[in-house]
Chain A
Amino acid sequence: MVDGVSQMMDEAERREALLAHLVEAGYVRLEPPILQPASVFLDQSGEDIRGRLYLTSDAGGRDFCLRPEYTIPVFRDHLASARAGEPAAYSYLGPVFRFRDHGAGEFVQAGLESFGRTDREAADAEILTLALEAAEAAADRSFEVRTGDAGLFLRLLDALALPEAWARRVRRGHAQGLDLDAMLAVRSDGGFEHAGVLAALENVDRREARALVEDLLAIAGIASVGGRSAAEIAERFLEQASMKGEAAIGHEQREALRRFLEVDGDPDAASAALRALASEAGLDLDAALDSFDARLNFIAARGLDLTRLSFSSRFGRRLDYYTGFVFEVLAPGQAERLIVSGGRYDGLSRALGAAQDIPAVGAAIWCERLFAGAERDGEPS
């Protein structure tokens, strides 16, 4: 028992040292309420998170949960504060709560958030290097870093000018970790057998075709059911039908995607490979790649050896959340146990009700995993 207690004391001290590292760097400690409105997390993370939330409700029937993470509570506190419009840097340390099949549902997270800085590449570099330094100093060991760039992938999709339906499919396929062939496979589930209607509309102008399908829906007495308008339904009906017949996606576009998704490894080499790919395919990725290089330069300038970083174009899957740089810190040989995970989420401020996009980048550090040896179980992120 004495050992257990002294180990806990030791861990508490190390956590405080970790936090002190962040505070010294100018990140003001925030401690948002543990009890949070549940709807915010359900809106942001969807139903996946519901099964892991500790939910409760008040006498008025409003749903609350124990905070499952810090980013959203910290951001909400920031938006509600007098400094909402200004750049701000925050740190945190405390318990978060997620239901798990095995193991305790309460664990300690530390982390840092940077809001409102428009020098994005410098802010990205600062968050990564600071989180890594703090974690390595507190645990007294060195870790590996994986990086990715969600913004680059989104920019590539824009530059490829894919039809909207295909762009959506590629984004989703990427998010689900599908390989390219699976993403682009033409559906064989026979979804569209309305050959008569479609044949009649074949040579008709797109807008007229849509008007006709809308009229058909109106004749059937259908205006707006289940929150989707007749126009939306008609539009997608025709769009899906058009995806059936044609070659799914151009050969050049497919090749560009394939080459892009193969880029993996040393970040400087990755940058060069991506530039070569862009120029050969005639795609304008300059701004995104300049930003990529600038970020690397800032990281190097902060004293982190770039050879410690690996880049993967397949990393950065949560495109509905992350909008730019993404990174993970892990112990060598333990790919499934993230110690730090972080990235840029410029869209979060609007999703939380702010009037404009506020640049935001941050990272969370899993303290149990940071201080535990390999034997302890951690929750996959």
Chain B
Amino acid sequence: MSELADDAPLVLAVPSKGRLQENANAFFARAGLLVVQGRGVRDYRGALTGVAGVEVAFISASEITQQLAAGAVHLGVTGEDLVRESVPGADLKMEFLTPLGFGHANVVVAVPQAWIDVKTMTDLEDVAAAYRAKRGERMRVATKYVNLTRRFFAERGVTDYRIVESLGATEGAPAADQAELIVDITTTGTTLRANGLKALEDGVILRSEANLVASLTARWSETQRASARSILSRIAAEEEARTNREVRAMVEGDRDALAREAGELFGARALFAATGEGQLTLICAQSQTAALADWLLEHGAGHVAVGALDYLFTARNALYEKLARRWEQAAPVG
């Protein structure tokens, strides 16, 4: 693809179908960003309500990975498994901004359940060597994750195997005598069990989930950066709001001193700077709120109100800063 022009919109790639698309849309909607598709079903371009200068591209997850690597899109939703498998040197070409909490799946090494003597990669290495010594052939591993498999097996010292590329129904390969074992993606392990397979204890190659990923090879104009900042600050605001609670209380002591102490003890932050007695409003991680409330009661508060937040915008946007740091490292940027 050709380079994106300076006045061109920021391109956000989202999965074009299925569960992944629904989840991605829900994720953006939570952050107040609605993905709107063009009118026709065949329209593969859309927009994001609320943020100007953004074009949404609907493409398949594997295509998103390729386009991020090539710099043809700026931001995209894709699985880490796809990135690690198909993009060599991925960390130089893209930045994983935030996991999205869906699309969970592990890439695992699985062997027949009947192999009661094989539980670990060390066992597998031993069995593979013996297999080759006895038969003069290498054990076959069916997978579509050729690169992940090769890297993982090399790290674990397993060398006596051959990969049989499989493009679908990998879990059926051992029963069909097309392979001795497999490397495949699994969410619950049900499919593996149904096919008489078991994952090795230390055979998890990758714990993957859907991620919001930024391309570092794309050209980022000033307006595109500004659009990215808006999108990321909304996502961060929603995330902050979801994981934090607002805690309010009337206190008698000095609010500034109490806030500082609450910060040390519970990681709480004061929402407004204030001294002397009065209403203290703190932001605190959800897991710490009960303890913080107890502590405030001990310090003379009559009531402590805890509330959920819709959005929490902060001047420092961790997601955007992550991306900005990579631009700085990669400078000069054209």
Contact = CB atoms under 8 A, between A and B. Distances in A.
A225 B114 contact: yes
Contact of B162 (A42, A101, A165, A233): A42
A46 B139 CA distance: 10
B129 A226 contact: no
Contacts of A237: 116-117
Given A46-B138, A227-B177, A233-B116, A189 B201 contact: yes
A101 B88 CA distance: 9
Interface residues of B, number: 46
Given A46-B159, A46-B161, A50-B163, A227 B139 contact: yes
Contact of B179 (A51, A168, A226, A228): A226
B138 A230 contact: no
Contacts of A220: 114
Interface string A225-246: 1111010010011011000000
A233 B201 contact: no
B180 interface: yes
A51 B114 contact: no
Contacts of A171: 129
A101 B92 CA distance: 13
B116 A351 contact: no
A136 interface: no
Interface string B120-155: 101101110111100011111000001101100110
Interface of B: 88-89, 111-117, 119-120, 122-123, 125-127, 129-132, 136-140, 146-147, 149-150, 153-154, 157, 159-163, 174-175, 177, 179-181, 196, 201-202
Contacts of A46: 138, 159-162
Contacts of A189: 119-120, 122, 201-202
Interface residues of A, number: 34
Interface in A292-319: none
Contact of B115 (A47, A101, A228): A228
The 3 residue pairs across chains A and B that have the minimum distance between CB atoms: A237-B117, A225-B112, A226-B180
A108 to B, nearest CB: 26
A52 to B, nearest CB: 10
A169 B157 CA distance: 12
Given A46-B161, A47-B153, A50-B163, A228 B180 contact: yes
A34 interface: no
A279 to B, nearest CB: 31
Interface in A320-336: 320
A43 interface: yes
B196 A225 contact: yes
Contacts of B180: 226-228
A58 interface: no
A230 B115 CA distance: 9
Contacts of B162: 42-43, 46-47
Contacts of B123: 191, 240
28 contacts: A47-B154, A47-B159, A47-B163, A48-B159, A50-B146, A51-B150, A101-B89, A168-B130, A171-B129, A187-B120, A187-B122, A189-B119, A189-B122, A189-B201, A191-B119, A191-B123, A222-B114, A225-B113, A226-B114, A227-B180, A228-B131, A236-B117, A236-B126, A236-B130, A237-B116, A239-B117, A240-B123, A350-B136
Contacts of A217: 114, 116
- Max chain B Cβ within 10 angstroms of own Cβ: one of A172, A220, A351: A172
Q: Is the interface of B mostly helix, strand, loop or mixed?
A: mixed
B248 to A, nearest CB: 51
Secondary structure type dominating chain A contacts? helix
Contact of A236 (B127, B175, B201): B127
Nearest to B177: A227
A38 to B, nearest CB: 11
A351 B138 CA distance: 12
A172 B153 contact: no
Contacts of A50: 146, 150, 163
A319 to B, nearest CB: 10
A50 B143 CA distance: 15
A191 B111 CA distance: 15
A230 B146 CA distance: 29
B131 to A, nearest CB: 7
A233 B139 contact: no
B293 to A, nearest CB: 43
A56 interface: no
A176 interface: yes
Given A101-B88, A189-B201, A226-B181, 12 more contacts: A43-B162, A46-B162, A165-B126, A172-B125, A172-B157, A191-B119, A217-B114, A220-B114, A228-B115, A228-B127, A236-B117, A236-B130
B126 A233 contact: no
B136 A226 contact: no
Given A168-B129, A225-B114, A43 B138 contact: yes
Contacts of B130: 168, 236
B153 A225 contact: no
Contacts of B126: 165, 168-169, 172, 236
A222 B113 CA distance: 9
Contacts of A191: 119-120, 123
Contacts of B175: 225
A47 B179 CA distance: 15
Nearest to B151: A51
Contacts of A47: 149-150, 153-154, 159, 161-163
B138 A233 contact: no
A46 B163 CA distance: 9
A320 B133 CA distance: 9
Nearest to A238: B117
B120 A226 contact: no
Interface string A142-174: 000000000000000000000001001101100
Given A42-B162, A169-B126, A172-B157, A227 B114 contact: no
A225 B174 contact: yes
A2 to B, nearest CB: 34
A182 to B, nearest CB: 11
A362 to B, nearest CB: 22
B120 A351 contact: no
Contacts of A230: 114
A94 B153 CA distance: 32
B117 A240 contact: yes
